[in-house]
A and B are shown apart, each in its own frame.
Chain A
Amino acid sequence: MTAEPTETVADHGVPAVHERRTPAPPPVTLIGMPKFPKNAKKELGNAQLRSNLRHATTTIRNKRARVVQELPHWEQLRLAGEAIKNRTLRHLDDYLIQLEESLTANGAIVHWANDADEANQIVIDITRSKGVDEVVKVKSMATQEIDLNEALEEAGIAAWETDLAELIVQLGHDRPSHILVPAIHRNRSEVREIFLEEMGRYGTPPPEGLTDDPAMLAGAARVHLRDKFMRAKVAVSGANFAIAETGTLVVVESEGNGRMCLTLPETLISIVGIEKTLPTFADLEVFMQLLPRSSTAERMNPYTSMWSGVREGDGPQEVHVVLVDNGRTKVLADEVGRQALRCIRCSACLNICPVYERVGGHAYGSVYPGPIGAILTPQLRGTASEVDKSLPYASSLCGACFEVCPVRINIPEVLVHLRNKVVEENPGPSLQNIGMKAGGWLMGKGSRFGMAGKGAEAFGTVWPGSKIGPLPIPGWAAGWTGARDMKKPATETFRDWWKKREKTAGRGDQEGQA
């Protein structure tokens, strides 16, 4: 049984080579993708999005703060998480070989993929070898990163998302906007509309009289997915952790859809970023405390699935593990940037980020949005494209992300480091480069800065009024004054006031009233 191929790709601007099996997402092309500020401006204008995001991120970050406060040893847990990940990354070559050996001994088949294309081809080949043209999927950032669904679609294989939020995104011809809650930008009335419009085209339709009651919406998704679970021969998952010592993969989820995918189909293919490795089973103790509280603000994770290869007569009888690099070894080579590989994809940094809260995930033009995306994506993809160049600047460096990160990734530090990388890679005679060079020279000596102060005083003296209103000069001046007045410089700088004070005989007297 297959789904009705009712969707034509031409509707969504994707070049049509065959009739699509699954809903078409908006195309993502890195070339020509606008910079973050431009994307952000567009998203900021969406009042519904602003309200959905404010509500959702405020709720989850407050809940996280409450459950984290319950643990008196939270800081020690963070330090332990950081230390375990650092040790793993330092010896990743050894642990990966150990992981492969353990997995193989358990009856799993291990594949190595240098990049997205290799990983996708491995999944396509395995699926084809089973003679099926569809797979069910557990929510997985790694498969989003390699754009597996679209690669499978091109190969004539339908990939069905089974996580509720991923299903909403998929049916909505959309892209995820959050690592943990991919449909965070949608509210329940929007979800209802998507279900009514799209569900019936790709399987079991929603029930009559569907309202926007969350329980009813979830019920509709359950019924819709049931049929897909029951007929699936191949499942694709990611993994939160891969234990080198025991050859165990771990998936942490909340809905039970993952458990269905991991146990029902005959063949299971797991796409695992190489940095997901943990040395020993005991290391999980730390992460199973850090992850649920940081991500969903739960004390204990609802569905934790672990499997170590093949168990005869129980669960999938063919277990594949695809270990993916896709830029990770390049990140590992960067002494400052490599800490981004500690990430356990909890999303605490997204939920606390004041920038993310305003603009949402799509503005980042990257599978990984928010603060972690702003440091991970430009490292994985490089900083050649306009959007990737702009991502390290998509932060006010407020530091809230570092405070909540369960593995203590110093995101502001990496952002500034990557900004330096962007600057070093673009040494041309731009206005910014010239301005910064001049500024750097100016600040090298007090006498030079004093001269600049004279100029500022002159400007402050001749400028009429106390403030500077909207300026029609493009660039930074318009950027500032578009919505904000600018104070004019002082008519007497502090240093000139000080010099005068020193000159007057009574040094130290209280004559400082300006």
Chain B
Amino acid sequence: MSAPTGTVALFATCINDLMFPDTPKAVVRLLERLGCTVDFPLSQTCCGQPFTNTGYFKEAMPSVRNYVETFESYEYVVGPSGSCIGSVRDQHPMLAGRLGDPGLQRRVEAIVAKTYDLSEFIVDVLGVTDVGAYFPHTVTYHSTCHSLRVTKVGDRPYRLLKAVRGLTFVELPDSDQCCGFGGTFSVKNPDTSVAMGTDKVRHVLDTGAEYLVAGDNSCLLHLGGLLSRMEAGVRPIHLAEILARTEEDLVEAGTSANSEGGVR
């Protein structure tokens, strides 16, 4: 394992910061365990995707500029979200091209090249698939559309999960079909969103897994909301939180795996 010499900037993402702090905490724990120096620049906010994908390009620009200013001095930017990382890579250059100046465009392109989803950073940059995690549970994995088709993390999350000790992996049928979250789609088209989510949840329940794993908490917010409403007893969990957990953690905590509990 060759840990990078430079500091890794954690891009927590706005939704994780406010709603799922356990996920970025897990990223810090995991990356430090793997020998990285992690920093969390406090000036960070959002990738701007909620604005961009609703059609508010002008309103997304403060997020784009802020991302560049916050992270451009770091060697690596790592975030636990295929969707937010995908937005940085796919949409920031488009937005800078349309509404920015050539200078901003160049800075955006430079930062895109060093922005990674967590699973990519661990597998490609750190060169690790066994991160020394222990999670004695049956899990299934939803690939999430933007991890799969925008950020293109491929089979990295599967390789990471399958190397976790104690973990039993069950394949999720139709795992590549959208769960129906889709950002503001979930509230602009709530009925269709729920219809899609209900089918996804049906597949999850069919697996008999205790945990539904994904690399995006926003999709898990939606699916977890459905699971919670139906009292289904399946827990959504971010990939990072599984990878961060070791046997010592479980002994020390002596509690359930999900410290927050309840709906995600």
* Chain A residues packing against B (C-beta within 8 Å): 36-37, 40-41, 44, 50, 354-355, 358-359, 392-400, 402-403, 413, 416, 418-424, 432, 436-437, 439-450, 452-453, 456, 465-467, 469, 475-476, 479-480, 482-487, 489-490, 492-495, 497-499, 508, 510, 512-514
Contact = CB atoms under 8 A, between A and B. Distances in A.
B43 interface: yes
Contacts of A475: 187
Contacts of A355: 189, 192, 196
A40 B192 contact: yes
15 contacts: A359-B192, A393-B185, A395-B182, A396-B145, A400-B149, A400-B176, A421-B55, A447-B43, A449-B14, A467-B262, A476-B187, A485-B224, A486-B221, A497-B25, A510-B29
B187 A436 contact: no
Contact of B229 (A476, A485, A512): A485
Interface of B: 12, 14, 16-22, 24-25, 28-29, 32, 37, 40-46, 48, 50-63, 65-66, 70, 91, 94, 145-146, 148-150, 176-178, 180-199, 221-222, 224-226, 228-229, 249, 252-253, 259-264
Contacts of A354: 177-178, 180, 196
Contact of B57 (A420, A466, A490): A420
B182 A396 contact: yes
Contacts of B189: 36-37, 40, 355, 393-394
Contacts of B191: 37, 40-41, 44
A77 B228 CA distance: 46
A419 B188 CA distance: 13
A449 B225 CA distance: 25
Contacts of A436: 51, 54, 56, 59
A450 B19 contact: no
A482 B16 CA distance: 23
Given A396-B178, A397-B185, A485-B225, A466 B58 contact: no
B70 A446 contact: yes
B53 A467 contact: no
Nearest to B23: A494
B85 to A, nearest CB: 15
Contacts of A421: 55
Given A395-B185, A485-B229, A490-B260, 13 more contacts: A443-B46, A445-B66, A449-B14, A452-B18, A456-B18, A476-B187, A490-B19, A494-B17, A494-B40, A495-B12, A495-B42, A512-B29, A513-B253
B51 A440 contact: yes
Nearest to B48: A443
Interface centre among A396, A416, A436, A467, by most chain B C-beta atoms within 10 angstroms, is A396
B189 to A, nearest CB: 5
A358 B53 CA distance: 22
Contact of B225 (A396, A439, A443, A486): A486
Contact of B40 (A392, A397, A419, A495): A495
A44 B195 contact: yes
A447 B228 CA distance: 33
A413 B182 CA distance: 14
Contacts of B225: 480, 484-487
Contacts of B41: 446
Contacts of A466: 260-263
Nearest to A481: B225
A424 B99 CA distance: 14
A479 B188 contact: yes
Contacts of A497: 21, 25
Contacts of B145: 396-400
A176 B237 CA distance: 42
A403 B178 CA distance: 13
9 interchain residue pairs of minimum CB distance:
A396-B182, A440-B59, A419-B55, A484-B225, A444-B62, A466-B262, A398-B178, A446-B43, A479-B190
A37 B188 contact: yes
B253 A485 contact: no
B86 to A, nearest CB: 9
A446 B42 contact: yes
Contacts of A432: 54
Nearest to B17: A494
B43 A487 contact: no
B262 A397 contact: no
A387 B128 CA distance: 50
A285 B225 CA distance: 50
A35 B217 CA distance: 29
B88 to A, nearest CB: 13
A467 B60 contact: no
A413 B145 CA distance: 15
A235 to B, nearest CB: 39
B262 A492 contact: no
Interface centre among A398, A400, A469, A475, by most chain B C-beta atoms within 10 angstroms, is A398
B224 to A, nearest CB: 7
Given A396-B185, A450-B42, A508-B32, A44 B263 contact: no
Nearest to A457: B18
Contacts of B20: 487, 490
B32 A422 contact: no
Given A397-B53, A416-B55, A482 B44 contact: no
A443 B19 contact: no
A467 B228 contact: yes
A37 B195 CA distance: 12
B66 A444 contact: yes
A489 B61 CA distance: 26
Nearest to B229: A485
B185 A440 contact: no
Contact of B197 (A446, A467, A484): A484
A443 B43 contact: no
A513 B249 contact: yes
Contact of B25 (A443, A452, A469, A512): A512
A494 B25 contact: yes
